[in-house]
Amino acid sequence: MLVYDKIHKTNFYNNEARNLFQNLKSRVDEESYLTDYYSIRFKKRSENVTLSYQDIQLIKKFDNKLYAKSLRLLTKGFISKKVPLYQQSYNLKTEKFTTKNINMAQCLLTMEHLAEVRKLPVASQKWLQKKVELNQLYNIYSRKGKAVDRNQSASNYALAALIGRTTSNEKLYRSAIKSLIAFQVSDTSSKIYGSFGDKKTNQVYSFNELLALLALSNIKTAEFDY
């Protein structure tokens, strides 16, 4: 809604977006954190705060106090300079992070959110660029930085490309796009020709497709700065 208003220079949706945010916040806000969900059935909010859900650039538009706390949590979720990746979830009851293994898609979303407000550490950017250039951006890593699941996905490289674009890192962007294109179905006889799905099963996932579209588009990062 905010992007629409910005691109078209209108004010049609700003108030509606703000109201939707405030209504959601009233349900999921716990200790000034946006928890994962609110259960209508049990009338109870989640005890977990998933870091990749914290779109801090958007949160800042609506609530500076919430932004500051969300940013501190994401910063606290940085594992180490040796493993410059991010925790997956924080439990408000135990006051501890609950990450066993690092889901790379979620970690990259967290990194992109930080990059959007210029808070992504250089160490994380260098780690990502190295993995992309080696074509070794695997799906799951241990907290020690070891690959647990060596499968790869189009969405991860699309996210890496978006991070490259956001940080004005042309080398990272181009390397990630090259790897992303390798996932595209090039067989013209395939039912899913042109997609980023599995040509053997004809399965296509919207997460891969939509992120690929964003990465390959000519949309400027500035258009998402609200």
Say if CB 55 and CB 113 are below 8 A apart. Answer: yes
* CATH assignment of the domain containing 171: 1.50.10.10
Q: What are phi and psi of 90, to 5 degrees?
A: -125, 130
* Rounded Cα distance, 54 and 205, in Å: 23
| Phi/psi-derived region of residue 46, left when phi > 0, alpha when psi is between -120 and 50, beta in every other case | beta
What's the number of domains the chain is made of? 1
Splitting the chain (226 residues) into consecutive groups of 10 residues, what average pLDDT does each group show? Answer: 90 92 94 93 95 96 94 97 97 95 97 97 97 97 96 97 95 96 96 95 96 85 59
Say if CB 173 and CB 132 are below 8 A apart. Answer: no
Instruction: Give the pLDDT score at 226.
Output: 57
Instruction: Give the pLDDT score at 99.
Output: 92
Q: What share of the chain is helix, strand, coil (3-state, %, to 5)?
A: 50, 15, 40
CB atoms within 10 A of CB 221: 13
Helix residue ranges per DSSP H, the chain: 2-8, 14-28, 56-62, 64-76, 104-116, 122-133, 154-166, 170-181, 206-216
Domain encompassing residue 115: 2-224
**Packing angle of the helix pair 64-76, 104-116 (nearest 10 deg):** 130
pTM over 0.85: yes
Residue that the structure tokens 């405030």 belong to: 22
Instruction: Give the pLDDT score at 6.
Output: 87
